[in-house]
Chains A and B, each alone.
Chain A
Amino acid sequence: MTSAAPVAVQPVPRGGLGKLVGRRLVDWLPAAVVLVGGIAAWQGLVVALHVQQFLLPKPSSIATTFWNNRSELWHAGWFTFQEALGGFAIGSSLAILVALVLARWRPLSAALLPYAIAANAIPIIAFAPIANQWFAGGLTKSSKIFIAAVLCFFPVLVNTLRGLTSVRPQDLELMHSYAAGQVAIFRRVRIPTALPFIFSGLKVATVLAMIGAVVGEYFGGTQEQLGVLILDRTRIFQFPDAWAGIALACLLGIALYVAVSIAEWLALRWSPSTSA
Protein backbone atom coordinates (compact mmCIF):
# COMPACT_ATOMS: atom_id res chain seq x y z
CA MET A 1 0.00 0.00 0.00
CA THR A 2 1.53 3.29 -1.01
CA SER A 3 -0.06 6.04 0.96
CA ALA A 4 2.75 8.55 0.81
CA ALA A 5 0.90 10.77 -1.63
CA PRO A 6 2.58 14.15 -1.20
CA VAL A 7 -0.63 16.04 -1.90
CA ALA A 8 -1.13 17.81 1.39
CA VAL A 9 2.52 18.73 1.60
CA GLN A 10 3.97 22.19 1.26
CA PRO A 11 7.43 22.61 -0.22
CA VAL A 12 10.34 22.81 2.15
CA PRO A 13 11.31 26.47 2.42
CA ARG A 14 14.65 27.02 0.79
CA GLY A 15 16.92 29.91 -0.07
CA GLY A 16 19.02 32.28 1.96
CA LEU A 17 18.32 35.45 3.82
CA GLY A 18 18.90 37.52 0.68
CA LYS A 19 16.12 35.70 -1.09
CA LEU A 20 13.79 36.26 1.86
CA VAL A 21 14.55 39.98 1.87
CA GLY A 22 14.10 40.09 -1.91
CA ARG A 23 10.72 38.43 -1.72
CA ARG A 24 9.60 40.89 0.90
CA LEU A 25 10.85 44.07 -0.80
CA VAL A 26 7.39 44.61 -2.24
CA ASP A 27 5.89 44.12 1.23
CA TRP A 28 8.11 46.91 2.51
CA LEU A 29 7.10 49.37 -0.20
CA PRO A 30 4.16 50.93 1.74
CA ALA A 31 6.39 51.49 4.77
CA ALA A 32 9.08 53.08 2.59
CA VAL A 33 6.48 55.42 1.07
CA VAL A 34 5.40 56.49 4.57
CA LEU A 35 9.03 57.14 5.58
CA VAL A 36 9.84 59.26 2.52
CA GLY A 37 6.45 61.02 2.69
CA GLY A 38 6.92 61.71 6.41
CA ILE A 39 10.34 63.30 5.94
CA ALA A 40 9.05 65.35 2.98
CA ALA A 41 6.07 66.57 5.03
CA TRP A 42 8.38 67.46 7.93
CA GLN A 43 10.62 69.46 5.60
CA GLY A 44 7.65 71.13 3.90
CA LEU A 45 5.86 72.07 7.13
CA VAL A 46 9.00 73.48 8.82
CA VAL A 47 9.63 75.71 5.76
CA ALA A 48 5.96 76.69 5.25
CA LEU A 49 5.23 77.50 8.89
CA HIS A 50 8.63 79.15 9.54
CA VAL A 51 9.29 76.88 12.53
CA GLN A 52 12.27 78.11 14.58
CA GLN A 53 15.37 75.96 14.38
CA PHE A 54 15.59 75.50 18.15
CA LEU A 55 12.10 73.95 18.12
CA LEU A 56 12.56 71.68 15.12
CA PRO A 57 15.21 71.92 12.41
CA LYS A 58 14.60 70.90 8.79
CA PRO A 59 15.53 67.30 7.95
CA SER A 60 17.80 68.67 5.24
CA SER A 61 19.82 70.74 7.72
CA ILE A 62 20.03 67.75 10.09
CA ALA A 63 21.31 65.66 7.19
CA THR A 64 23.85 68.30 6.18
CA THR A 65 25.09 68.62 9.76
CA PHE A 66 25.25 64.83 10.03
CA TRP A 67 27.45 64.68 6.95
CA ASN A 68 29.71 67.56 7.97
CA ASN A 69 30.25 66.21 11.47
CA ARG A 70 30.36 62.57 10.40
CA SER A 71 33.77 61.68 11.83
CA GLU A 72 33.07 63.25 15.22
CA LEU A 73 29.59 61.71 15.31
CA TRP A 74 30.83 58.32 14.28
CA HIS A 75 33.51 58.39 16.95
CA ALA A 76 30.97 59.26 19.68
CA GLY A 77 28.38 56.86 18.27
CA TRP A 78 30.80 53.95 18.20
CA PHE A 79 31.82 54.66 21.80
CA THR A 80 28.20 54.65 22.95
CA PHE A 81 27.32 51.66 20.80
CA GLN A 82 30.08 49.67 22.48
CA GLU A 83 28.55 50.53 25.86
CA ALA A 84 25.08 49.47 24.68
CA LEU A 85 26.43 46.28 23.10
CA GLY A 86 28.44 45.39 26.21
CA GLY A 87 25.46 45.98 28.47
CA PHE A 88 23.20 44.00 26.15
CA ALA A 89 25.59 41.05 25.98
CA ILE A 90 26.31 40.92 29.72
CA GLY A 91 22.75 41.59 30.88
CA SER A 92 21.10 39.19 28.42
CA SER A 93 23.49 36.29 28.92
CA LEU A 94 23.30 36.60 32.70
CA ALA A 95 19.50 36.70 32.43
CA ILE A 96 19.41 33.53 30.32
CA LEU A 97 21.73 31.74 32.75
CA VAL A 98 19.67 32.79 35.77
CA ALA A 99 16.45 31.75 33.97
CA LEU A 100 17.93 28.29 33.32
CA VAL A 101 18.79 27.92 37.00
CA LEU A 102 15.35 29.13 38.12
CA ALA A 103 13.56 26.82 35.65
CA ARG A 104 15.59 23.85 36.86
CA TRP A 105 14.97 24.51 40.58
CA ARG A 106 11.37 25.68 40.83
CA PRO A 107 11.36 26.64 44.55
CA LEU A 108 14.03 29.24 43.70
CA SER A 109 11.82 30.52 40.93
CA ALA A 110 8.82 30.78 43.26
CA ALA A 111 10.93 32.81 45.69
CA LEU A 112 12.58 35.15 43.19
CA LEU A 113 10.24 35.52 40.21
CA PRO A 114 7.84 37.99 41.87
CA TYR A 115 10.78 40.32 42.48
CA ALA A 116 12.03 39.91 38.92
CA ILE A 117 8.59 40.88 37.62
CA ALA A 118 8.44 43.82 40.03
CA ALA A 119 11.95 44.92 38.99
CA ASN A 120 10.79 44.74 35.39
CA ALA A 121 8.16 47.37 36.19
CA ILE A 122 10.38 49.92 37.95
CA PRO A 123 12.21 52.70 36.03
CA ILE A 124 15.71 51.33 36.44
CA ILE A 125 17.02 54.22 34.37
CA ALA A 126 16.40 56.37 37.46
CA PHE A 127 19.46 54.71 38.98
CA ALA A 128 21.72 56.02 36.21
CA PRO A 129 23.17 58.93 38.24
CA ILE A 130 23.95 56.54 41.10
CA ALA A 131 25.58 54.08 38.70
CA ASN A 132 27.81 56.90 37.47
CA GLN A 133 28.95 57.45 41.06
CA TRP A 134 29.72 53.77 41.50
CA PHE A 135 31.96 53.52 38.48
CA ALA A 136 34.75 56.15 38.38
CA GLY A 137 32.35 59.08 38.33
CA GLY A 138 30.92 57.94 35.01
CA LEU A 139 34.07 58.74 33.03
CA THR A 140 34.59 55.21 31.73
CA LYS A 141 32.34 52.89 29.77
CA SER A 142 31.65 50.64 32.74
CA SER A 143 28.94 52.75 34.41
CA LYS A 144 26.91 52.82 31.17
CA ILE A 145 27.53 49.14 30.51
CA PHE A 146 26.28 48.48 34.01
CA ILE A 147 23.06 50.45 33.63
CA ALA A 148 22.38 48.97 30.16
CA ALA A 149 23.01 45.47 31.52
CA VAL A 150 20.59 45.96 34.43
CA LEU A 151 17.98 47.33 32.01
CA CYS A 152 18.38 44.31 29.68
CA PHE A 153 18.46 41.75 32.45
CA PHE A 154 14.84 41.69 33.64
CA PRO A 155 12.86 41.48 30.39
CA VAL A 156 15.17 38.73 29.10
CA LEU A 157 14.94 36.87 32.42
CA VAL A 158 11.15 37.01 32.59
CA ASN A 159 10.68 36.05 28.93
CA THR A 160 13.20 33.22 29.03
CA LEU A 161 11.71 31.78 32.18
CA ARG A 162 8.23 31.93 30.70
CA GLY A 163 9.51 30.13 27.59
CA LEU A 164 11.34 27.43 29.55
CA THR A 165 8.23 26.66 31.60
CA SER A 166 5.62 26.81 28.84
CA VAL A 167 6.49 23.36 27.49
CA ARG A 168 3.54 21.21 26.42
CA PRO A 169 2.95 18.39 28.95
CA GLN A 170 2.91 15.75 26.21
CA ASP A 171 6.37 16.90 25.04
CA LEU A 172 7.65 16.15 28.54
CA GLU A 173 5.73 12.88 28.76
CA LEU A 174 7.50 11.66 25.62
CA MET A 175 10.89 12.48 27.15
CA HIS A 176 9.88 10.69 30.37
CA SER A 177 9.03 7.60 28.32
CA TYR A 178 12.71 7.62 27.23
CA ALA A 179 13.78 7.98 30.88
CA ALA A 180 15.40 11.31 29.88
CA GLY A 181 17.33 13.26 32.50
CA GLN A 182 16.98 16.99 33.19
CA VAL A 183 19.93 17.92 30.95
CA ALA A 184 18.40 16.10 27.98
CA ILE A 185 14.98 17.62 28.65
CA PHE A 186 16.45 21.13 28.77
CA ARG A 187 18.57 20.63 25.70
CA ARG A 188 16.01 18.87 23.53
CA VAL A 189 12.68 20.33 24.70
CA ARG A 190 12.78 23.29 27.07
CA ILE A 191 15.40 25.42 25.33
CA PRO A 192 14.00 24.95 21.80
CA THR A 193 10.51 25.76 23.14
CA ALA A 194 11.89 28.86 24.87
CA LEU A 195 13.79 30.24 21.87
CA PRO A 196 10.94 32.36 20.44
CA PHE A 197 10.35 33.80 23.94
CA ILE A 198 14.07 34.48 24.41
CA PHE A 199 14.22 36.39 21.15
CA SER A 200 11.26 38.59 21.99
CA GLY A 201 13.01 39.39 25.29
CA LEU A 202 16.27 40.14 23.45
CA LYS A 203 14.51 42.48 21.04
CA VAL A 204 13.09 44.50 23.93
CA ALA A 205 16.58 44.47 25.45
CA THR A 206 18.25 45.98 22.35
CA VAL A 207 16.06 49.08 22.69
CA LEU A 208 16.69 49.30 26.43
CA ALA A 209 20.45 48.90 25.94
CA MET A 210 20.65 52.00 23.72
CA ILE A 211 18.40 53.95 26.12
CA GLY A 212 20.57 52.91 29.04
CA ALA A 213 23.80 53.96 27.34
CA VAL A 214 22.59 57.34 26.01
CA VAL A 215 20.58 58.38 29.07
CA GLY A 216 23.41 57.20 31.33
CA GLU A 217 25.67 59.59 29.45
CA TYR A 218 23.25 62.49 30.04
CA PHE A 219 24.12 62.20 33.73
CA GLY A 220 27.80 62.55 33.11
CA GLY A 221 30.56 61.35 30.86
CA THR A 222 33.33 62.43 28.58
CA GLN A 223 33.18 64.43 25.36
CA GLU A 224 33.59 61.36 23.20
CA GLN A 225 30.17 59.97 24.21
CA LEU A 226 27.07 60.43 22.07
CA GLY A 227 24.76 61.34 24.94
CA VAL A 228 27.19 63.98 26.17
CA LEU A 229 27.49 65.34 22.62
CA ILE A 230 23.70 65.67 22.28
CA LEU A 231 23.42 67.36 25.67
CA ASP A 232 26.30 69.81 25.10
CA ARG A 233 25.13 70.89 21.63
CA THR A 234 21.65 71.56 23.00
CA ARG A 235 23.13 73.77 25.72
CA ILE A 236 25.01 75.89 23.20
CA PHE A 237 21.98 76.10 20.86
CA GLN A 238 23.52 74.01 18.06
CA PHE A 239 20.26 72.21 17.53
CA PRO A 240 20.96 70.59 14.14
CA ASP A 241 24.10 69.07 15.75
CA ALA A 242 22.03 67.68 18.63
CA TRP A 243 19.45 66.30 16.21
CA ALA A 244 22.17 64.67 14.13
CA GLY A 245 23.34 62.94 17.32
CA ILE A 246 19.80 61.82 18.09
CA ALA A 247 19.43 60.49 14.53
CA LEU A 248 22.63 58.48 14.94
CA ALA A 249 21.41 57.05 18.28
CA CYS A 250 18.20 55.99 16.49
CA LEU A 251 20.13 54.38 13.64
CA LEU A 252 22.39 52.47 16.04
CA GLY A 253 19.41 51.28 18.05
CA ILE A 254 17.68 50.08 14.90
CA ALA A 255 20.89 48.36 13.73
CA LEU A 256 21.10 46.40 16.98
CA TYR A 257 17.42 45.45 16.75
CA VAL A 258 17.81 44.31 13.13
CA ALA A 259 20.89 42.25 14.03
CA VAL A 260 18.92 40.42 16.72
CA SER A 261 16.00 39.94 14.31
CA ILE A 262 18.32 38.35 11.77
CA ALA A 263 19.73 36.06 14.45
CA GLU A 264 16.15 35.17 15.38
CA TRP A 265 15.29 34.37 11.79
CA LEU A 266 18.37 32.16 11.49
CA ALA A 267 17.70 30.36 14.78
CA LEU A 268 13.97 29.86 14.26
CA ARG A 269 13.84 28.79 10.65
CA TRP A 270 12.12 25.60 11.83
CA SER A 271 9.14 27.51 13.13
CA PRO A 272 5.96 27.58 11.02
CA SER A 273 5.56 31.30 11.66
CA THR A 274 9.10 32.14 10.53
CA SER A 275 9.20 29.98 7.41
CA ALA A 276 5.74 30.63 6.08
Chain B
Amino acid sequence: MSVVRIEGVSKRFGNVTALEDIDVSIAEGEFVSLIGPSGCGKSTLLRIIGDLIQPTDGNVVVNGKPARKARIDRDYGIVFQDPVLYDWRTVAKNVALPLEMARWSRQKRAARVREMLELVELTGFEDHRPWQLSGGMQQRVSIARALSFDPALLLMDEPFGALDEMTRERLNMEVLRIWEQSGSTIVFVTHSIAEAVFLSTRVVVMSARPGRITSVIPIDLPQPRTASTREEPRFFELVTQVREALHLGSDLDRTAPAPETQEATA
Protein backbone atom coordinates (compact mmCIF):
# COMPACT_ATOMS: atom_id res chain seq x y z
CA MET B 1 0.00 0.00 0.00
CA SER B 2 1.32 3.43 -0.79
CA VAL B 3 1.89 5.76 2.15
CA VAL B 4 1.42 8.85 -0.03
CA ARG B 5 -0.70 9.00 -3.17
CA ILE B 6 -0.88 12.30 -5.04
CA GLU B 7 -3.37 12.43 -7.90
CA GLY B 8 -3.64 15.32 -10.33
CA VAL B 9 -2.63 17.94 -7.77
CA SER B 10 -2.44 21.57 -8.89
CA LYS B 11 -1.89 24.65 -6.79
CA ARG B 12 -2.45 28.22 -7.88
CA PHE B 13 -1.60 31.29 -5.79
CA GLY B 14 -3.70 34.02 -7.39
CA ASN B 15 -2.94 33.65 -11.07
CA VAL B 16 0.50 32.07 -10.52
CA THR B 17 0.49 28.33 -11.05
CA ALA B 18 2.84 26.85 -8.44
CA LEU B 19 2.09 23.21 -9.20
CA GLU B 20 0.46 21.63 -12.23
CA ASP B 21 -0.98 18.17 -12.51
CA ILE B 22 1.31 16.33 -10.08
CA ASP B 23 1.00 12.55 -9.80
CA VAL B 24 3.26 10.63 -7.41
CA SER B 25 2.86 7.52 -5.37
CA ILE B 26 5.25 6.73 -2.52
CA ALA B 27 5.41 3.23 -1.09
CA GLU B 28 6.06 2.24 2.50
CA GLY B 29 9.73 2.41 3.49
CA GLU B 30 10.74 4.52 0.50
CA PHE B 31 13.08 7.50 0.73
CA VAL B 32 11.93 9.92 -1.97
CA SER B 33 13.67 13.21 -2.67
CA LEU B 34 11.98 16.12 -4.42
CA ILE B 35 14.58 18.19 -6.24
CA GLY B 36 14.26 21.21 -8.51
CA PRO B 37 15.18 24.85 -8.94
CA SER B 38 13.79 27.36 -6.47
CA GLY B 39 10.21 28.23 -7.33
CA CYS B 40 9.41 24.76 -8.67
CA GLY B 41 6.93 24.20 -5.84
CA LYS B 42 8.74 21.34 -4.11
CA SER B 43 8.18 22.83 -0.63
CA THR B 44 4.59 23.61 -1.59
CA LEU B 45 4.09 19.98 -2.61
CA LEU B 46 5.53 18.81 0.73
CA ARG B 47 3.16 21.13 2.60
CA ILE B 48 0.23 19.85 0.55
CA ILE B 49 1.13 16.29 1.61
CA GLY B 50 1.19 17.56 5.23
CA ASP B 51 -2.16 19.39 4.78
CA LEU B 52 -0.50 22.67 5.78
CA ILE B 53 -1.56 24.05 2.37
CA GLN B 54 -4.67 22.92 0.46
CA PRO B 55 -4.33 22.07 -3.24
CA THR B 56 -6.45 23.96 -5.76
CA ASP B 57 -7.22 20.72 -7.62
CA GLY B 58 -6.53 17.06 -7.13
CA ASN B 59 -6.38 14.60 -4.35
CA VAL B 60 -3.85 13.66 -1.67
CA VAL B 61 -4.14 10.40 0.22
CA VAL B 62 -1.84 9.71 3.19
CA ASN B 63 -1.95 6.33 4.91
CA GLY B 64 -5.12 5.53 2.97
CA LYS B 65 -7.04 8.59 4.20
CA PRO B 66 -7.43 12.23 3.12
CA ALA B 67 -4.44 14.42 4.02
CA ARG B 68 -6.52 16.40 6.50
CA LYS B 69 -7.54 13.30 8.40
CA ALA B 70 -3.91 12.12 8.39
CA ARG B 71 -2.79 15.43 9.90
CA ILE B 72 -5.46 15.27 12.59
CA ASP B 73 -4.40 11.69 13.35
CA ARG B 74 -0.77 12.91 13.55
CA ASP B 75 0.39 10.43 10.94
CA TYR B 76 3.46 12.42 9.94
CA GLY B 77 6.39 14.23 11.50
CA ILE B 78 7.78 17.30 9.82
CA VAL B 79 11.25 18.90 9.80
CA PHE B 80 11.56 22.41 8.37
CA GLN B 81 14.61 24.18 6.99
CA ASP B 82 14.62 26.31 10.15
CA PRO B 83 14.67 23.97 13.19
CA VAL B 84 11.59 25.79 14.64
CA LEU B 85 12.50 25.09 18.24
CA TYR B 86 10.78 27.04 21.00
CA ASP B 87 13.29 29.07 23.03
CA TRP B 88 11.03 28.92 26.08
CA ARG B 89 11.38 25.15 26.18
CA THR B 90 14.44 23.09 27.00
CA VAL B 91 15.77 20.63 24.42
CA ALA B 92 13.96 17.78 26.20
CA LYS B 93 10.67 19.71 26.30
CA ASN B 94 10.96 20.61 22.62
CA VAL B 95 11.28 16.93 21.76
CA ALA B 96 8.34 16.16 24.06
CA LEU B 97 6.06 18.76 22.43
CA PRO B 98 4.22 16.39 20.03
CA LEU B 99 3.94 13.82 22.84
CA GLU B 100 2.26 16.45 25.05
CA MET B 101 -0.12 17.21 22.20
CA ALA B 102 -0.93 13.50 21.97
CA ARG B 103 -1.48 13.43 25.77
CA TRP B 104 1.22 10.93 26.64
CA SER B 105 1.85 10.45 30.38
CA ARG B 106 4.81 12.20 31.97
CA GLN B 107 6.77 8.97 32.47
CA LYS B 108 6.18 7.75 28.94
CA ARG B 109 7.25 11.15 27.61
CA ALA B 110 10.46 11.20 29.65
CA ALA B 111 11.38 7.68 28.54
CA ARG B 112 10.74 8.47 24.87
CA VAL B 113 12.64 11.77 25.00
CA ARG B 114 15.65 9.94 26.46
CA GLU B 115 15.42 7.36 23.69
CA MET B 116 15.10 9.98 20.92
CA LEU B 117 17.99 12.11 22.19
CA GLU B 118 20.10 8.97 22.27
CA LEU B 119 19.09 8.29 18.66
CA VAL B 120 20.27 11.73 17.50
CA GLU B 121 23.26 11.57 19.88
CA LEU B 122 22.32 14.51 22.05
CA THR B 123 22.21 12.74 25.40
CA GLY B 124 23.32 15.19 28.09
CA PHE B 125 21.78 18.22 26.38
CA GLU B 126 18.26 17.72 27.82
CA ASP B 127 18.29 20.88 29.91
CA HIS B 128 19.97 23.13 27.38
CA ARG B 129 18.07 25.86 25.59
CA PRO B 130 17.87 25.63 21.79
CA TRP B 131 19.92 28.80 21.29
CA GLN B 132 22.79 27.24 23.22
CA LEU B 133 23.23 24.59 20.51
CA SER B 134 24.94 24.80 17.14
CA GLY B 135 22.83 24.82 13.96
CA GLY B 136 23.47 21.14 13.28
CA MET B 137 22.55 20.15 16.82
CA GLN B 138 19.35 22.22 16.63
CA GLN B 139 18.36 20.40 13.47
CA ARG B 140 18.99 17.05 15.19
CA VAL B 141 16.66 18.14 18.01
CA SER B 142 14.09 18.95 15.35
CA ILE B 143 14.51 15.48 13.82
CA ALA B 144 14.20 13.85 17.24
CA ARG B 145 10.97 15.80 17.80
CA ALA B 146 9.57 14.76 14.40
CA LEU B 147 10.33 11.08 15.09
CA SER B 148 9.33 11.04 18.75
CA PHE B 149 5.76 9.85 18.19
CA ASP B 150 6.72 7.16 15.65
CA PRO B 151 5.07 8.68 12.60
CA ALA B 152 4.72 6.42 9.60
CA LEU B 153 5.80 9.31 7.41
CA LEU B 154 8.57 11.87 7.83
CA LEU B 155 8.39 15.07 5.76
CA MET B 156 11.67 16.98 5.53
CA ASP B 157 11.80 20.41 3.88
CA GLU B 158 15.44 21.22 3.02
CA PRO B 159 16.41 20.33 6.58
CA PHE B 160 20.13 20.82 6.00
CA GLY B 161 19.94 23.69 3.53
CA ALA B 162 21.35 26.23 5.98
CA LEU B 163 24.22 24.05 7.23
CA ASP B 164 27.82 23.80 6.07
CA GLU B 165 28.85 20.95 3.77
CA MET B 166 30.61 18.88 6.44
CA THR B 167 27.75 19.07 8.92
CA ARG B 168 25.33 18.31 6.12
CA GLU B 169 27.17 15.12 5.08
CA ARG B 170 27.36 13.96 8.70
CA LEU B 171 23.64 14.58 9.21
CA ASN B 172 22.90 12.76 5.92
CA MET B 173 24.50 9.68 7.45
CA GLU B 174 22.43 10.14 10.60
CA VAL B 175 19.20 10.46 8.64
CA LEU B 176 19.97 7.25 6.80
CA ARG B 177 20.75 5.44 10.05
CA ILE B 178 17.51 6.73 11.60
CA TRP B 179 15.56 5.76 8.46
CA GLU B 180 16.95 2.22 8.65
CA GLN B 181 16.26 1.92 12.38
CA SER B 182 12.78 3.40 12.34
CA GLY B 183 11.59 1.91 9.06
CA SER B 184 9.59 5.06 8.31
CA THR B 185 8.86 6.52 4.89
CA ILE B 186 10.66 9.78 4.12
CA VAL B 187 9.82 12.56 1.68
CA PHE B 188 12.82 14.86 1.48
CA VAL B 189 12.98 18.24 -0.27
CA THR B 190 16.43 19.41 -1.31
CA HIS B 191 18.23 21.49 -3.91
CA SER B 192 21.46 19.48 -3.59
CA ILE B 193 21.86 16.84 -6.30
CA ALA B 194 24.51 14.89 -4.36
CA GLU B 195 22.34 14.83 -1.25
CA ALA B 196 19.29 13.62 -3.18
CA VAL B 197 21.22 10.80 -4.88
CA PHE B 198 23.07 9.74 -1.75
CA LEU B 199 19.96 9.49 0.44
CA SER B 200 17.15 8.37 -1.79
CA THR B 201 15.64 5.26 -3.23
CA ARG B 202 13.98 7.51 -5.79
CA VAL B 203 14.57 11.10 -6.94
CA VAL B 204 11.67 13.15 -8.28
CA VAL B 205 12.97 15.94 -10.53
CA MET B 206 10.79 19.03 -10.85
CA SER B 207 10.87 22.12 -13.04
CA ALA B 208 9.59 25.61 -12.36
CA ARG B 209 6.82 27.84 -13.73
CA PRO B 210 4.64 25.93 -13.51
CA GLY B 211 5.97 23.34 -11.05
CA ARG B 212 5.82 19.97 -12.76
CA ILE B 213 7.50 16.61 -12.43
CA THR B 214 9.91 16.21 -15.36
CA SER B 215 11.38 12.84 -14.45
CA VAL B 216 11.55 10.21 -11.73
CA ILE B 217 14.95 8.52 -11.32
CA PRO B 218 15.24 5.30 -9.30
CA ILE B 219 18.50 5.22 -7.29
CA ASP B 220 19.85 1.67 -7.38
CA LEU B 221 22.90 2.26 -5.16
CA PRO B 222 23.36 -0.62 -2.68
CA GLN B 223 22.03 -0.32 0.88
CA PRO B 224 23.24 0.55 3.43
CA ARG B 225 24.88 3.65 2.05
CA THR B 226 28.25 4.53 3.55
CA ALA B 227 30.80 7.30 3.17
CA SER B 228 32.38 5.35 0.29
CA THR B 229 29.06 5.34 -1.59
CA ARG B 230 29.88 8.90 -2.62
CA GLU B 231 33.00 7.64 -4.37
CA GLU B 232 31.43 4.89 -6.46
CA PRO B 233 31.22 5.33 -10.26
CA ARG B 234 27.50 4.51 -10.13
CA PHE B 235 26.99 7.43 -7.70
CA PHE B 236 28.53 9.82 -10.23
CA GLU B 237 26.48 8.36 -13.08
CA LEU B 238 23.30 8.94 -11.12
CA VAL B 239 24.38 12.46 -10.11
CA THR B 240 24.94 13.20 -13.81
CA GLN B 241 21.58 11.72 -14.70
CA VAL B 242 19.78 13.90 -12.15
CA ARG B 243 21.74 16.95 -13.24
CA GLU B 244 20.80 16.40 -16.87
CA ALA B 245 17.17 15.92 -15.93
CA LEU B 246 17.30 19.22 -14.04
CA HIS B 247 18.86 21.02 -17.00
CA LEU B 248 16.27 19.59 -19.34
CA GLY B 249 13.66 21.01 -17.01
CA SER B 250 15.29 24.44 -16.96
CA ASP B 251 15.58 24.46 -20.79
CA LEU B 252 11.86 23.83 -20.99
CA ASP B 253 11.58 26.61 -18.51
CA ARG B 254 13.32 29.09 -20.78
CA THR B 255 11.13 28.31 -23.77
CA ALA B 256 7.97 28.41 -21.70
CA PRO B 257 5.73 31.46 -22.02
CA ALA B 258 6.08 34.20 -19.42
CA PRO B 259 3.80 33.76 -16.41
CA GLU B 260 0.50 35.59 -16.48
CA THR B 261 1.43 37.89 -13.60
CA GLN B 262 3.88 39.73 -15.81
CA GLU B 263 1.19 40.32 -18.39
CA ALA B 264 -1.09 41.58 -15.67
CA THR B 265 1.43 44.13 -14.45
CA ALA B 266 2.52 45.18 -17.95
Contact = CB atoms under 8 A, between A and B. Distances in A.
Nearest to A2: B121
Interface in A150-171: 168, 170-171
B76 A275 contact: no
A115 interface: no
Interface bin, chain B: 35 or more
A4 B123 contact: yes
Given A1-B173, A3-B170, A271-B87, A179 B132 contact: no
A184 B100 CA distance: 10
B28 interface: no
Contacts of A106: none
B170 A180 contact: no
Interface in B28-58: 50, 52
Contacts of B98: 178
Contacts of B77: 177
A9 B132 contact: yes
A272 interface: yes
Given A173-B80, A174-B78, A177-B78, A10 B132 contact: yes
A191 to B, nearest CB: 9
B266 interface: no
A176 to B, nearest CB: 6
B124 A4 contact: yes
B82 interface: yes
A234 to B, nearest CB: 49
A173 B52 contact: yes
Given A174-B84, A188-B97, A12 B128 contact: yes
B87 A270 contact: yes
A176 B174 contact: no
Interface bin, chain A: 20 to 34
B166 to A, nearest CB: 10
A189 interface: yes
Contacts, number: 81
A177 B122 CA distance: 24
B132 A12 contact: yes
Contacts of B128: 9, 12
Contacts of B80: 170, 173-174
B122 A176 contact: no
Contact of A170 (B72, B82, B173): B82
B236 interface: no
Given A9-B134, A272-B87, A179 B74 contact: yes
A192 interface: yes
A3 B177 CA distance: 13
Residue among B50, B72, B87, B132 with most chain A CB within 10 A: B132
A179 B174 contact: no
Contacts of A168: 84
Given A9-B132, A192-B86, A272-B87, A3 B78 contact: no
Nearest to B121: A4
> 10 shortest A-B CB distances, which residue pairs?
A8-B134, A192-B88, A178-B101, A179-B72, A4-B121, A270-B88, A272-B131, A177-B78, A170-B84, A174-B84
7 contacts: A174-B80, A177-B50, A179-B71, A180-B101, A189-B86, A271-B88, A272-B87
